[in-house]
């Protein structure tokens, strides 16, 4: 072979920005993003370790999840936007994560929470936010935060990135996850995976690599509290339960300090409390105090010539009720998971607010176990996301890929019905099986058609493939034992196996396009399944009745043939009449008529079947062959 043919040519990918005239490298790195309610950050694996990325002129890895619309509607994200929160609340958007995938109806009771305009164009539809005569969806706004993070890491790597893993709370539903994916897409990121925040936090602590365990992830952020109980088995993370309070967090600590100061200080006049500037200052100072008290005994400051101070002890006393409510929620989560405190192997601290030493103290006290807090609690989710990204990139072979199936997988059964074998949102890798049999006497081939989707009838779902199980030895209907197994491996590839266990006949098919649907198609299919649930159910019931009726007719005919000598004339005639009546309604469209005719036939033939059985047994007792 010619030498030159063997040489591997390293081709650097580059992209040229025509507008700026810059040339940029393209990086294959998959980044990990924690898109938080209060703060967001981006991380990646640098020389084998996950690191969170700091801004260019910024020491901080956290980007406040705040978007400000400036004079010419130019968009500012992060620390500078946070400064505008009090000055221009109507043009400064915070907590946009709370709006992801929500309709106005979902938010009705929290209307006062938002300082900006949440629009109720249509109560059923997803919300929009109005800023300076323009409407934005929460997806677009989240995309702005993601763009900022993308920029941050591109500056660090001096290369463009395109692929990301983004974390979401474990309780996020499909719409919210989809919205998060879409935000990524808008920001120019291909979101390879949406990962649960508690899963990411566990990964950051290296949990799941060596042994099976049960982990509680206690996440107290700025405005939300989440507790998740996870079970990790063979590298698969399963959420046993989640609970929380979407309006409980570090902001409440700040508010408690403000209330404490206002109550204590006789110098604050009424009008000061309504003063915007004073409010902003006292809020920022309260947060500063809180952070300072995490490792100091006392904090003092002066605002508008008024002295304020608070000791750690005082702080602990005022936040105790808030911490207590998180503990009550932990109890509920344990109960939902059917677990006792002592069955929890590890407790992981997540969220900036767990830096308050009192929180750690109380959580340790409750679980009667030391908590895991070595990693930065406000970075741990992003670090875990970076690890997940690295696994996806194929750099960490000892960990399984974690994912869930976006749509149900199943096979077609008689009447065109979808029989789900692996339900939607099942964890990957996954396997499940079910037994089937034949519906016709002497059937030697069985077609196995595999579908994906949520509708009851396969015609509305997406066909993934089919194969024929051939060579089943001829047997009466219902006798062959056919096992169908679905196996999704860690790469999301579905294998379907069918085997007739009495004869050992086997067949297998591999389906690679498990995720071949575009996200739009997937969202549409889910939507359709919700919209059509009722009519599907009716159709399904009718089809099921028809299938059952046809089986009963076959069985009745067989019964008459086999038992002619045992039954009297009237019994034979009446059975024939009732069978004909059932035959007549089976082709119609009334499941009630079919069910009624089936009931009559069943009721009449039931004692006859007993009679036939008794006769057979009696004959057998006589030593005759049956
Ligand atoms: P989220 O997940 O909601 O985006 P974070 O995990 O970033 O939120 O937590 C933000 C909260 O953590 C804020 O209320 C912030 O004041 C609080 N926080 C940050 N540092 C400290 C600290 N040293 N002590 C106490 N609270 C802190
Ligand atoms: Mg968080």
Q: What is the pLDDT of residues 221-230, one digit of tens each?
A: 999 999 999 9
The answer to whether 78 and 92 are in contact (CB under 8 A) is no
pLDDT reported for residue 626: 36
Residue 488 CA to ligand 1 center (angstroms) comes to 39
Cβ atoms of residues 484 and 433 within 8 Å: yes
Ligand nearest the Cα of residue 319 is 1
Please give all residues whose beta carbon lies within 6 A of any atom in ligand 1, as ranges: 36-39, 62, 221-224, 249-251, 287, 290-291, 294, 351-353, 355-356, 378
- How much is the average pLDDT of 54-67? 91
Helix (H, G, I), strand (E, B) or coil at 278: helix
Coil, strand, or helix at residue 106? helix
Residue bearing the CA closest to ligand 1, atom 2: 221
CA 604, 607, 613, 619 dihedral sign is negative
In the chain, CATH 3.90.640.10 covers 250-317
CATH: 3.40.50.2300, 3.40.50.300, 1.20.1270.10, 3.30.360.10. Which one for 534-621? 1.20.1270.10
pLDDT at 625: 40
* Secondary structure of residue 489 in the 3-state scheme: coil
The protein residue whose alpha carbon is closest to atom 6 in ligand 1 is: 351
Q: Which residue, judged by its Cα, is nearest atom 22 of ligand 1?
A: 291
pLDDT at residue 133 tops 90: no
- pLDDT, residue 554, reads 86
CATH 1.20.1270.10 maps onto the chain at 534-621
Q: For a pocket test of ligand 1, which of 171, 250, 252, 295 has the largest count of ligand atoms closer than 8 A to its C-beta?
A: 250
Does residue 540 carry a pLDDT above 90? Answer: no
219 is catalytic: yes
Under the banding of pLDDT at 50, 70 and 90, the label for residue 464 is confident
Q: How far is the CA of 205 from the centre of ligand 2 (A)?
A: 16
Q: Is 307 a catalytic residue?
A: no
Q: Which CATH architecture has domain 409-531?
A: Sandwich (2.60)
Residue 424 or 327, more confident = 327
Strands, sheet with 213-220, edge to edge from the N-terminal-most edge strand? 236-245, 225-233, 213-220, 346-350
Long-range contacts of 212-215 (CB under 8 A, 24+ apart): 213/345, 213/346, 214/240, 214/339, 214/343, 214/344, 214/345, 214/346, 215/344, 215/345, 215/346, 215/347, 215/348
- Compute the average pLDDT of residues 405-432: 84
In this structure, the strands spanning 190-196 and 163-168 are parallel
Hey, is 267 helix, strand or coil? coil
Q: What is the greatest pairwise CA distance in the chain? A: 111
Which of the listed ranges 43-52, 94-103, 442-451, 616-625 does the model predict with the highest average pLDDT? 43-52
DSSP H helical segments within 126-247, as ranges?
138-157, 174-186, 197-204
How far is the centre of ligand 1, averaged over its atoms, from the C-alpha of 439 (Å)? Answer: 62
Give yes or no: 197 in active site.
Answer: yes
Angle, CA of 616, 560 and 599, to the nearest 5°: 105
Nearest CA to ligand 1 atom 3: 221
User: Catalytic site residue 134?
Assistant: no
Three-state DSSP at 192 gives strand
Q: Which atom of ligand 1 is nearest to the CA of 292?
A: 23
Residue with the bigger pLDDT between 425 and 420: it is: 420
Q: Where in the chain is the domain with CATH 2.60.34.10?
A: 409-531
Intervals of CATH 3.30.420.40 along the chain: 2-201+383-392
Q: How far is the CA of 336 from the centre of ligand 1 (A)?
A: 27
Instruction: Report whether CATH 3.30.420.40 matches the domain 2-201+383-392.
Output: yes
| Residue of the CA atom closest to atom 7 of ligand 1 | 39
Lookup: tokens for 253: 């600590």
Of 140, 182, 219, 412, catalytic: 219
| CATH superfamily, with its number, for domain 250-317 | ATPase, substrate binding domain, subdomain 4 (3.90.640.10)
CA distances from 6 to 3, 12, 13, 456 (A): 6, 18, 21, 54
Q: pLDDT tens digits, residue range 438-447?
A: 888 888 888 8
Is residue 169 scored above 80 in pLDDT? yes
């Amino acid at each position: 072979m010619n030498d030159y043919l063997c040489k591997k040519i390293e081709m650097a990918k580059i992209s040229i920005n025509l507008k700026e005239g810059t040339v940029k490298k393209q990086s294959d790195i998959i980044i990990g993003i924690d898109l938080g309610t209060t703060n967001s950050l981006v991380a990646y694996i640098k020389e084998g370790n996950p690191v969170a990325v700091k801004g260019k002129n910024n020491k901080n890895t956290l980007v406040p999840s705040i978007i400000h619309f400036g004079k010419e509607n130019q968009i500012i994200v992060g620390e500078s936007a946070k400064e505008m929160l009090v000055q221009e609340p109507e043009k400064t958007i915070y907590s946009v994560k709370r709006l992801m995938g929500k309709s106005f109806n979902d938010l009705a009771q929290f209307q006062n929470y938002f300082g900006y305009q949440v629009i109720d164009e249509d109560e059923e539809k997803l919300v929009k936010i109005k800023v300076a005569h323009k409407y934005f969806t929460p997806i677009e706004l989240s995309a702005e935060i993601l763009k900022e993070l993308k920029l941050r890491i591109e500056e660090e790597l001096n290369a463009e990135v395109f692929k990301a893993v983004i974390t979401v709370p474990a309780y996020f539903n499909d719409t919210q996850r989809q919205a998060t994916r879409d935000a990524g897409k808008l920001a120019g990121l291909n979101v390879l995976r949406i990962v649960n925040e508690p899963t990411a936090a566990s990964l950051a602590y290296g949990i799941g690599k060596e042994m099976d365990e049960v982990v509680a992830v206690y996440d107290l952020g700025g405005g939300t509290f989440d507790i998740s109980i996870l079970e990790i088995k063979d590298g698969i993370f399963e959420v046993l339960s989640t609970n929380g309070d979407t309006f409980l967090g570090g902001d409440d600590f700040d508010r408690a300090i403000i209330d404490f100061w206002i109550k204590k200080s006789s110098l604050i006049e009424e009008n000061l409390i309504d003063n915007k500037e004073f409010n902003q200052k006292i809020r920022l100072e309260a947060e500063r105090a809180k952070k300072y008290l995490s490792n100091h005994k006392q904090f003092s400051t002066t605002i508008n010539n008024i002295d304020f101070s608070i000791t750690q002890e005082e702080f602990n006393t005022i936040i105790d009720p808030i911490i207590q409510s998180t503990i009550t929620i932990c109890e509920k989560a344990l109960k939902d998971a059917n677990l006792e405190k002592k069955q929890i192997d590890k407790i992981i601290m997540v969220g900036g607010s767990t830096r308050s030493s009192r929180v750690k103290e109380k959580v340790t006290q409750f679980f009667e176990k030391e908590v895991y807090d070595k990693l930065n609690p406000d970075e741990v989710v992003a670090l875990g996301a970076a690890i997940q990204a690295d696994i996806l990139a194929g750099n960490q072979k000892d960990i399984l890929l974690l994912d869930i199936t976006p749509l149900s997988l199943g096979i077609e059964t008689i009447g065109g019905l979808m029989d789900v074998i692996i339900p939607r949102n099942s964890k990957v890798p996954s396997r499940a099986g079910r037994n089937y049999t034949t519906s016709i006497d002497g059937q030697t081939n069985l077609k196995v058609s595999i579908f994906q989707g949520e509708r009851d009838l396969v015609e509305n779902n997406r066909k993934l493939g089919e194969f024929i199980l051939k060579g089943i030895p001829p047997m009466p209907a219902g006798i062959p034992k056919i096992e169908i197994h679905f196996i999704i491996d860690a790469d999301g590839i579905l294998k379907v196996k069918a085997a007739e266990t009495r004869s050992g006949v086997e067949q297998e098919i591999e389906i690679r396009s498990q995720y071949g649907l575009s996200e739009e198609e997937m969202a549409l299919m889910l939507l359709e399944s919700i919209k059509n649930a009722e009519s599907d159910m009716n159709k399904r019931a009718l089809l099921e009745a028809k299938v059952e009726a046809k089986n009963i007719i076959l069985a009745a005919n067989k019964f008459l043939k086999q038992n002619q000598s045992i039954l009297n004339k009237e019994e034979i005639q009446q059975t024939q009449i009732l069978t004909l009546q059932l035959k007549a309604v089976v082709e119609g469209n009334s499941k009630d008529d079919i069910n009624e005719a089936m009931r009559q036939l069943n009721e009449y033939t039931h004692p006859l079947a007993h009679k036939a059985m008794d006769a057979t047994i009696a004959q057998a007792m006589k030593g005759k062959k049956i």
